[in-house]
Amino acid sequence: MKRTIVSGFLFAFGSLAPSVAAAQPPIVHIGAGHPYSLVGAINNRGQVVGVMNFPEDEGRFHAYVWEGGALRDLNPDGFGQAYDVNDRGQIVGVADLGDGLGDAVLWEHGGPPVRLQTPAGASCIPLRINAHGLVVGWCRFASDTGPVFWRKGVFERMAVPAGVDAFPVGLNDRGVVVGSASTTVGSRFPFVWADGVLTDLNTMSDRPFERVVAINNLGQIAGEGPASAGRGQGLLWEAGRTVVIPPLPGATAAIPYGLNERGQVVGASAACGFVWDGGPSRALSCLPGGTVAYGTDINERGDIAGHAVAPPDNQLPNAVLWPGAGKQPPRHVDR
């Protein structure tokens, strides 16, 4: 498992250009002292959640929450992974509740993980939670797989067409879901689900998408589409119109991973990632001595969370934070 994730982490930057020499924001090493760590999400309170190995238990992954420099293991007695956190501090993910299995859980009010309602025999992953506490996820059932909701803790299957499996990756406060869909005949497409209707995003867009990563409350969708040569290009869709996200100078692409309510996008471009808000993309910074980093989520304060490799090995990903890196730099005014 660890090798698979790390391989993908490094591969994602194999075709991108070297780091750009520019004034770059400071970086906080959330995962310092831990062999391996990933970010799931950051909320507007600055809480970061994800998964990491703790030195005293390197053989298992643990869910964590980080806030203001303090790191807390969300399930110290067993393995776990936190995928998302809303502004109320509610966290969703999976955790071992004593049966050796990964149960779908909710953490809130600083308490222990609470099992979410799940049908007998199903294995479920809660992936996103919005401001109203609506949770979207994905389950493997005895005879099929598919997307699901938890509404006020009550389990329900998401309505999708027959022969379609949909894996959700984004959820906004209006209950609109985006993700990747596949059919029994082998076709794949990015989808938008709203009010019980699943739609192929490419039937709504003026540019083709290969994948989507997030949707905000404005209905903007960040994702990636094919380019004329080499790596795909970053895209932001809104009301049928799509904008190409510019790469950093010298880079071949800007690949999105996160989106906030202001339409700011973060991701990978050059060696140390980017943030974009309608103008030229701006570079993020690597860890000192590190060679790779990228942003995966951004809140409305402009705090960016993501992953970076750390010396001396520069191999395993580590959770990092760029506080305020999404804020627009002050403009020079001639007087």
Q: Kindly state the helix (H) or strand (E) to which residue 2 belongs, with its residue range.
A: helix 2-11
pLDDT digits (tens, 9 = 90+) for 83-135: 999 999 999 999 999 887 889 999 999 999 999 999 999 999 999 999 999 99
Average pLDDT over residues 310-326: 94
- What pLDDT was estimated at residue 19? 41
Cα separation, 270 vs 138, in Å, equals 33
Cα separation, 112 vs 105, in Å, equals 9
Q: What are the angstrom distances between the C-alpha of 203 and each of 4, 193, 206, 237, 241? A: 33, 13, 8, 12, 12
Percent of the chain whose predicted confidence (pLDDT) is above 90: 81
**pTM, two decimal places:** 0.90
- What pLDDT was estimated at residue 334? 40
pLDDT digits (tens, 9 = 90+) for 162-218: 999 999 999 999 999 999 999 988 899 999 999 999 999 999 999 999 999 999 999
**Contact by Cβ (8 Å): 286, 292:** yes
In sequence order, what are the residues at sequence separation of 6 or more whose Cβ sits closer than 8 angstroms to the Cβ of residue 8? none
- Per the rule left: phi > 0, alpha: psi between -120 and 50, beta: everything else, 296 is alpha
pLDDT digits (tens, 9 = 90+) for 9-49: 333 433 344 444 445 679 999 999 998 999 999 999 999 99
In 3-state terms, what secondary structure has residue 215? strand
Among 68-72, 109-113, 217-221, 225-229, the range scoring the smallest mean pLDDT is 225-229
Please state the domain extents for the chain: 2-322
Cα separation, 236 vs 193, in Å, equals 17
Confidence of residue 65 (pLDDT cuts 50, 70, 90): very high
pLDDT averaged over the chain?
A: 90
- What pLDDT was estimated at residue 8? 36
Three-class SS string for 130-148? CCCCCEEEEEECCCCEEEE
- What pLDDT was estimated at residue 187? 94
The CATH superfamily of 2-322 is Peptidase/esterase 'gauge' domain (2.130.10.150)
Amino acid symbol at 302: G
